[in-house]
A and B are shown apart, each in its own frame.
Chain A
Amino acid sequence: MMMDCDNVLDERIDPYELERLRDQYETQVRRGQPSHLAKFSFAHGLIKSTKNDVHQGIAILEQLLRENGQDISMRDYIYYLAVGHARIKDYDRALAYIETLLHAESTNRQAMNLKELIEKKMRNDGLLGAAILGGGAAIAVGSLLALIFAGRK
């Protein structure tokens, strides 16, 4: 990881590390179905890479969220979906995900820090106060999560 930045939205993964995670993932793909862990680790690396990689990371995490019934990992997927969307400046979706996490864990300081960071980015980009929450993206995230929770019953 680069040293200069010290927050989860600005850090950049070392390309060598990303390749290591990609190799592990692709080796498992060649053998059959990759494990949730290999998918998650690779997606986490992608989220901290370039814009196109972030999109791929988001797609993998959304798939994991839909398919994975293991509640213990859900918070990880949701947290990194918030990070990923914030990094491609899809701030309303990012906020919708972090709100979901805070709804489940209202005292989670890590989630609160991320929310503050996203709001700071939005202010920097002149986006805060535009009343975008409650808009289409929040509803889209909400219904994705509703489907997941419904599917688990």
Chain B
Amino acid sequence: MSNSAPYNYSYIFKYIIIGDMGVGKSCLLHQFTEKKFMADCPHTIGVEFGTRIIEVANQKIKLQIWDTAGQERFRAVTRSYYRGAAGALMVYDITRRSTYNHLASWLTDARNLTNPNTVIFLIGNKSDLDAQRDVTYEEAKAFAEENGLTFLECSAKTGENVEDAFLETARKIYQNIQDGSLDLNAADTGVQPKQQLPRSTLAPGSANGEKKDCNC
């Protein structure tokens, strides 16, 4: 988790990463936040967090990324993270068709549980394994266009296109703020301007009372 210069940004954007287990969601996050490939990555338990500060149109933006477990038994748990996501990265594995076939179900969840302005970005991961490809670029591109998604094939291993996927999503969210289609005063937009920070979120009788412990 990178927390360098935590106060030096204009907005927080919240992202979720969703998709079947084993498609490389955690590895994409790790490549994006640490610029390293994580070999031998165990299945995520519940949800994991990552942050990184990026720049869009000369504005510093803190991405707060919630990487969800892909295993079916976590569906009830991970569904509670969709609400209030400004961006959703929906990932499949280009070498396993079943992970592509399940996209419709992931997309339904994403559409139903996020708000209409949430930017959904489709990622075909493991582009380095072209020899084992099971889903063509053209087919996925057509699926993305039919459903109004932006699409890239990426490799968490080589890092190819990983930055672009995260940054392009942020650019689209930023554009939605600029053109007014994303209302910052609405609930659950997944975007928080810095001037509202720090916001007290501590419920009375909370389990964890110290504001100072919060890495925000």
On A, residues with C-beta under 8 Å from B are 1-10, 12-14, 17, 20-21, 24, 37-38, 40-41, 44-45, 49-54, 73, 75-76, 79-80, 87-88, 105, 107-110, 113, 121, 124
Contact = CB atoms under 8 A, between A and B. Distances in A.
Contact of B77 (A12, A41, A49, A113): A41
Interface of B: 1, 12, 14, 26, 30, 38, 40-42, 44-49, 51, 64, 66, 73, 76-77, 80-81, 83-84, 190, 192, 197-199, 201, 203, 205-208, 210, 212-216
B10 to A, nearest CB: 15
A141 to B, nearest CB: 18
A52 B206 CA distance: 9
Contacts of B51: 6
B45 A12 contact: no
The dominant DSSP class at the B interface is loop
B73 A54 contact: no
Contact of B192 (A1, A3, A52): A3
A5 B198 CA distance: 11
Nearest to B82: A1
A79 B30 CA distance: 20
The dominant DSSP class at the A interface is helix
Given A4-B201, A10-B214, 4 more contacts: A10-B208, A44-B77, A53-B207, A75-B45
Contacts of B76: 21, 24, 37-38, 41
A24 B76 CA distance: 10
Nearest to B46: A44
Contacts of A87: 207-208
A4 B80 CA distance: 16
A2 B201 contact: yes
Nearest to B40: A107
7 contacts: A1-B84, A6-B1, A14-B80, A41-B76, A52-B205, A110-B42, A124-B213
A7 B1 contact: yes
Nearest to B67: A110
A16 B83 CA distance: 11
Counting chain A CB atoms within 10 Å of each CB, the highest count among B41, B49, B81 belongs to B49
Contact of B213 (A10, A45, A76): A10
Nearest to A43: B77
Contacts of B215: 5-7, 10
Given A2-B201, A3-B190, A87-B208, A8 B80 contact: no
A64 to B, nearest CB: 12
